[in-house]
Amino acid sequence: MADATLQHDSVHGLPGAYEAPLFGAYSKKVGMWLFLASDSLTFGALLFAFSYNRLYTTPWPTPFHAQSIANATVMTACLLSSSLTMVLAVFASQRGDRAWTRNWLLATMVFGTAFIVLHGMEWSKLIGEGLTIPGFPRPASAAAGELADVSKNVPQFPATFFGLTAMHMLHVTIGVIYLGVVAFRKWFLPILGVLWIAGYILIPSDNVFHYGIHALLLGLIISAVILFLKPKDYDAHDVEVSGLYWHFVDLVWMFIFPLVYLMSTKIR
C-alpha cells in the first residue's frame, strides 16, 4: 500500500495531498481497468448477439474442418505466447531493463502480427470458399460449395463469425500499434506507414483487407497525434498498462475461439 501511495503521489507530483487511492493503483491503471470493463461489455453484447442467433437458428451449421481448427489453434498459440512475452516485458520494465523491455515488446508485436496475418489468410480462404456476407467484394470461386450454402441458408453464421472476429482483429491491431508506440515512440510511425502502403499494394483489390488495411492509416494518424501531444519517454507504468490491454485482448480470444471455432466444427 505504501508503495502504491508513493507511485500515486509521484504521478501527481503533489506528495501526500490526497486520500490514498481506493484500489491502491495509479490513475492510468485505474483508467485502463475501467476501459476494459466497458470493452468487455462491448464484446459481451457481440457474444450475446452470437449466442442469441445460435440458439434460435436450428440447425446451426457446423462447417469448419480440421484445417480451420488447426489454423485457429496455431493462432491461439501465437496469442498465448504473446501474453508470455508481454509479462516478460513488464518484468523487464519494472527492473529498469530498457533493452529487454523493448525486445520483449517487439516479440509480443511479432506474435500479434503473426496472429493478424494468419487470421487474415484464414478469412481470405473462407471467403474464397464461399463464407461471405453480401457487403464483401466476392471472388468468383465463392459462388458454390458447402460454405456458400451455409452463407445462403444461415446468413447469421458468416455475419456473427465475421462480426466477432473482425472486432477482435481490430483490437489486436490497435494493441500492436499501441505496443509499437510504447516501445519505439516516434520511430514507430514510419514503420506503420510502410506497412500500410505495402499492405495496400500487395493485397489484391478483390480482398476485404485491401480496404481493411486503412485501419493502419487511421492508427498512424492517431499515434502521431498522441505522440505530438505527449512526446515523452514511456515508463514502466505505461508498459504495465499496455500489458493490461494486451492480456484482455487475449482473454477475449479465449471466449471467441471455443465459441465460434470449436463449437462450429464438423465432427465425424
Partner 1 sequence: MVAQDAHAHSAPQGFIRKYIFSLDHKVIGIQYFFLALTAVFVGMFLSVLMRIHMIWPAASLPLVGEIKPETYLSLLTMHGTIMVFFVLTTAPQGGFGNYILPIQIGAPDMAFPVLNMLSFWTTFVGFVVILAAFFVTGGAPLHGWTGYPPLSALQSAGPGEGLGADLWITSIAVFCVASLMGALNFITTTLDLRAKGMTLMRLPLTVWSWFITAILGLLAFGVLLSAGILLLLDRNLGTSFYVPLVIVNGQVMGHKGGSPLLWQHLFWFFGHPEVYIAILPGMGVASQILSTFSRKPIFGYKAMVYAMLSIGFFGFMVWGHHMFMSGMSPYSAFAFSILTMCIGVPSAIKTFNWLGTMLKGRIRFHTPMLYAIGFVSLFVSGGLSGPFLAQPVLDIPLHDTYFVVGHFHLIMGVAAIFGIFAATYYWFPKMFGRMMNETWGRVHFFITLAGTYAIFMPMHYLGMAGQTRRYSEFTQVAYQAKLVPLQTFMTYAAIITITAQFIFVINLFWSMFKGPKASDNPWEATTLEWTTTTPPPHDNFGGVTPVVYHGPYEYGVPGAPRDFVMQTDPATVSTH
Q: Taking Cα atoms as reference points, which of 157, 127, 118 lies closest to residue 145?
A: 127
Grid cell of 28 as nine digits: 492510468
- Which of 226, 254, 262, 263 binds partner 1 (CB under 8 A)? It is 226
Rounded Cα distance between 23 and 4, Å, is 9
Is position 247 an interface residue for partner 1 (rule: CB under 8 A)? no
Is position 178 an interface residue for partner 1 (rule: CB under 8 A)? yes
Site string for partner 1, 130-169 (x = CB under 8 A): ---xxxx-----------------xxx-xxx--x---x--
Is position 3 an interface residue for partner 1 (rule: CB under 8 A)? no
For partner 1, give the closer residue by CB, 43 or 78: 43
Listed ranges 28-36, 70-78, 105-113, 183-191: which one lies at the site for partner 1 (CB under 8 A): 28-36
Q: Taking Cα atoms as reference points, which of 3, 2, 9 lies closest to residue 27?
A: 9
In this structure, are residues 178 and 220 in contact, taking their beta carbons and an 8 Å threshold?
no
Site string for partner 1, 78-97 (x = CB under 8 A): --------------------
In this structure, are residues 129 and 142 in contact, taking their beta carbons and an 8 Å threshold?
yes
Grid cell of 213 as nine digits: 488495411
Counting residues that bind partner 1 (by CB under 8 A) gives 55
Rounded Cα distance between 102 and 179, Å, is 10
Strand partners, 265: 64
Considering the complex, what minimum distance in angstroms separates the CB of residue 257 from partner 1? 19
Is position 53 an interface residue for partner 1 (rule: CB under 8 A)? yes
Considering the complex, what minimum distance in angstroms separates the CB of residue 6 from partner 1? 14
Residue where the block lists cell 465460434: 260
* 114-116-118 Cα angle (round to 5): 65
Considering the complex, what minimum distance in angstroms separates the CB of residue 67 from partner 1? 25
Grid cell of 155 as nine digits: 446468413
- Residues in contact with partner 1 by CB under 8 A are 8, 11-14, 16-19, 21-23, 26-28, 30-32, 34-35, 37-46, 48-49, 52-53, 56-57, 133-136, 154-156, 158-160, 163, 167, 178, 226, 229-230, 238, 241, 245
